[in-house]
Amino acid sequence: MLAFLLTLMLLLGIVIVLAYAERKVAAFMQDRMGPTEAGPYGSLQSVLDVLKLLQKEDIVPAAADKKLFKLAPILIFAAVFAGFAVIPFTPDLIPAGIGIGVFYLLAIISLDVVGLLMAGWGSNNKYAMLGAMRSVAQIVSYEIPAGLAILSVVMICQSLDFQEISYQQGVLLNRFPGLEFETNWLFGIEALGINTTNIGGITTWNIFRAPLLLVAFVIYFIASLAESNRAPFDIPEAESELVAGFHVEYSGFRFAILFLAEYSMMVLVSLVAVILFLGSWNTPLPNLTTLKFANWTTGTIGELSGILWGSFWLLSKTFVLLFLQLQIRWTYPRLRVDQLMHLCWKVLTPVALGLVLLAGIWRLLMV
Amino acid sequence: MTKSLLSGLWLTWRHFRNADKRRAPVPVMDGDYFKQPEGLVTLTYPYEAIPVPENGRYRLHNEIDDCIVCDLCAKICPVNCITIESVKATEDIGMTSDGTKKRLYAPVFDIDMAKCCYCGLCTTVCPTDCLTMTPVYDFAEVDIKNMIYHFTDLTPEQADEKKQLLAKQQEEMAAAKAAALAARKQQ
């Protein structure tokens, strides 16, 4: 229960910051100023937006399928929020440390699609319906390259446990039960003879431990943009065509929940990208002979220093990825539906399939 | 394709990095007006504003002390937004600042800024240059009645007094005239 509340608070905080950052970053990239009036530099803008939404009337259209309409936002948010249960925030802090975390996450996020379809269908509105159909088509398609990219990580790490995958990517490798005698080699190639187990830092991140995961990271990142309905894959809520997509008919608290779910999804996919590819809560600074940067910036497991450093690195890396998502939104134009499907099925999926094959060969030969 | 994707990201990143710079609120007469390619372009209007040109035509102002109530402005106004009533002065009421003798009071000198088309004709015909255009352009009102600007320096009571004075003087003059006429007839 405590984990639930803490995660919810943390998530609300991150989403508030993210909504503000989105407006400011968008403004700066378009040579505007963004919010300036509410609080210093407009920093209270998103808090006030939420307060405004909570005061608004909760309108349920007369022709809507009321049960589905009312349930959908809760289901969507619950599906996304449940994904946070298996996210390791620090070396010893994880809401639910289950051994099949990756599998659970992929499964629970898929529930999102059901909620979207309920919202679109229940609204009894053609724009909502079109948006929901596009959304479902897009998310179901892009789960395949994303899943394959994650699969290649799982094959190389030989684990479905997010915490074990995290431990493998840093100087704490041998502290995880069952990994006491493991070693990390530079680029994962034992023949080079450079043992990076105690160097840690960026050299043991998955994209360096197995360089072919760099390609998997790019594929996963593109697919995750599509899964969270972000530009340039935002055809489900293309403002110029569909008004707002599946949430056209929502107002007040229910709209706030949908909004929260959407931003939570962005945070979640970025967290997963960081954990699987960019070293999770591990520091990016390596140990260099006597300068033990990695040890200094890791802290001690089980103590406050370990918790602070771990969450600091995890969240800062996540925010870098979130910034990249925002920048991409304001850089690239929206893809057409056929271009979207072409990219997914004819480009990303074959490459990801090849990666899975390569990851298997890599696992057999290199370790 | 990768190259064009990256150059797109580079472009937005460059704009993001330049967000600490601001466009200076220089007037259009300034040589740098069109030479500020970097930084945020937003002007936070109520707090800062681009200065207007000196020959700009904005809100009218009448310096009533210098007005000789000649009615030329009201006559040339293409939209009839100036309303003037005049009352002849019974005594000497001084001069304007450029030395023209004032002979009339103006109990009513109203300009309806909601009707005004800002053509500036009234300011060109004004013989004493008392009617001018100011650089003020932000004077929106909630009630449209407040768009009518009253420039008279007389209160209604004073205006009535002046009218009565004039009527009295005219009566006296008429009486004097009648008396003179009667006297001539008797001769």
Pairwise CB contact (< 8 Å): B12 & A331: yes
Residue A367's pLDDT is what? 58
- Kind and range of the H or E element at A292? strand A291-292
Interface test with B, best of A22, A23, A31, A37 (most B CBs within 10 A): A31
A260 or A238: which leads in pLDDT:
A260
Query: Contact, A116 vs A258, CB < 8 A?
Result: no
Beta-bridge partners for A345: none
Residue of A29, A32, A36 lying closest to B12 (CB–CB): A29
B23 or B175: which leads in pLDDT:
B175
CB atoms within 10 A of CB B158: 13
Interface test with B, best of A22, A24, A28, A327 (most B CBs within 10 A): A28
Question: Measured between alpha carbons, how far is A215 from A153 in angstroms, rounded to an integer?
Answer: 11
Pairwise CB contact (< 8 Å): B15 & A28: yes
Question: Measured between alpha carbons, how far is A109 from A298 in angstroms, rounded to an integer?
Answer: 31
A51 or A243: which leads in pLDDT:
A51
Question: Measured between alpha carbons, how far is A15 from A264 in angstroms, rounded to an integer?
Answer: 7
- Kind and range of the H or E element at A287? strand A287-288
Contacts of B9 in chain A (CB under 8 A): 327-328, 331
Pairwise CB contact (< 8 Å): B11 & A33: no
- Cis amide prior to A232 (ω within 30 degrees): yes
Each residue of A29-76: pLDDT tens digit? Answer: 998 888 988 888 888 998 998 899 889 888 888 888 888 888 999 999
Question: Measured between alpha carbons, how far is A100 from A9 in angstroms, rounded to an integer?
Answer: 25
Pairwise CB contact (< 8 Å): A32 & B8: no
User: Per the structure block, which two tokens stand in for B24?
Assistant: 């200076």
> Sorting pLDDT into bands at 50, 70 and 90, what band is A269?
very high
Question: Measured between alpha carbons, how far is A139 from A136 in angstroms, rounded to an integer?
Answer: 5
User: Per the structure block, which two tokens stand in for A66?
Assistant: 């009321």
Percent of chain B with pLDDT over 70: 100
Interface test with B, best of A22, A29, A218 (most B CBs within 10 A): A29
| Predicted confidence (pLDDT) at residue B146 exceeds the cutoff of 70 | yes
Residue of A25, A33, A36 lying closest to B16 (CB–CB): A25
CA distance A327 to chain B (A): 7
CA distance B12 to chain A (A): 5
Mean pLDDT value of segment A181-196 = 76
Pairwise CB contact (< 8 Å): A31 & B9: no
B140 in A contact zone (CB under 8 Å) = no
Mean pLDDT value of segment B134-141 = 88
Mean pLDDT of chain B: 87
Question: Measured between alpha carbons, how far is A204 from A183 in angstroms, rounded to an integer?
Answer: 10
A183 in B contact zone (CB under 8 Å) = no
Each residue of B43-95: pLDDT tens digit? Answer: 888 888 888 888 888 999 998 888 888 889 999 999 999 999 888 888 878 88
Question: Measured between alpha carbons, how far is A142 from A223 in angstroms, rounded to an integer?
Answer: 5
* DSSP notation for A159-222: ---HHHHHHHTSTTGGGSTT-TT---BGGG-GGG--B-TTT-GGGGSHHHHSTHHHHHHHHHHH
Each residue of A305-330: pLDDT tens digit? Answer: 888 888 898 999 999 999 999 999 89
B44 in A contact zone (CB under 8 Å) = yes
Contacts of B8 in chain A (CB under 8 A): 331-332
Contacts of B44 in chain A (CB under 8 A): 33, 36
Pairwise CB contact (< 8 Å): B42 & A31: yes
Query: Contact, B127 vs B96, CB < 8 A?
Result: no
User: Which residues 5-24 in chain B show a CB within 8 A of chain A?
Assistant: 5, 8-9, 11-13, 15-16, 18-19
Residue A219's pLDDT is what? 92
Contacts of A33 in chain B (CB under 8 A): 40, 42, 44
Which sequence spans correspond to the domains of chain B? Answer: 1-51, 62-169
| Predicted confidence (pLDDT) at residue A256 exceeds the cutoff of 80 | yes
Query: Contact, A88 vs A38, CB < 8 A?
Result: no
Closest residue in B to A36 (Cα) is: B44
Contacts of B168 (CB under 8 A, 6+ apart): B90
Beta-bridge partners for B60: B133
Query: Contact, A115 vs A72, CB < 8 A?
Result: yes
Residue A354's pLDDT is what? 93
SS (H, E, C) chain B: CHHHHHHHHHHHHHHHHHHHCECCCCCCCCCCCCCCCCCECCCCCCCCCCCCCCCCCCCEEECHHHCCCCCHHHHHCCCCCEEEEEEECCCCCCECCCCCECCEEEEEEEEECCCCCCCCHHHHHCCCCCEEECCCCCCCCCCHHHHEEECCCCCHHHHHHHHHHHHHHHHHHHHHHHHHHHHHHHC
Contacts of B21 in chain A (CB under 8 A): none
Mean pLDDT value of segment A261-277 = 92
Contacts of B42 in chain A (CB under 8 A): 31-33
Which is nearest to A232 in space by CA: B121, B8, B95?
A: B8
> Sorting pLDDT into bands at 50, 70 and 90, what band is A296?
confident
- Taken in order B142, B147, B153, B154, is the CA torsion positive or negative? negative
The model carries a pTM of 0.82
A274 or A184: which leads in pLDDT:
A274
Angle at A102 between CA A97 and CA A106, to 5 degrees: 125
- Taken in order A315, A318, A324, A325, is the CA torsion positive or negative? negative
Q: Looking at chain B, how many residues does it have?
A: 187
Pairwise CB contact (< 8 Å): A33 & B44: yes
- What class, spelled out in words, does domain B62-169 have in CATH? alpha beta
CA distance A24 to chain B (A): 10
Q: Is B62 exposed, middle or buried (0-12, 13-18, 19+ CB in 10 A)?
A: buried
Indicate the Cα dihedral angle A52, A54, A57, A62, nearest 10°: 130
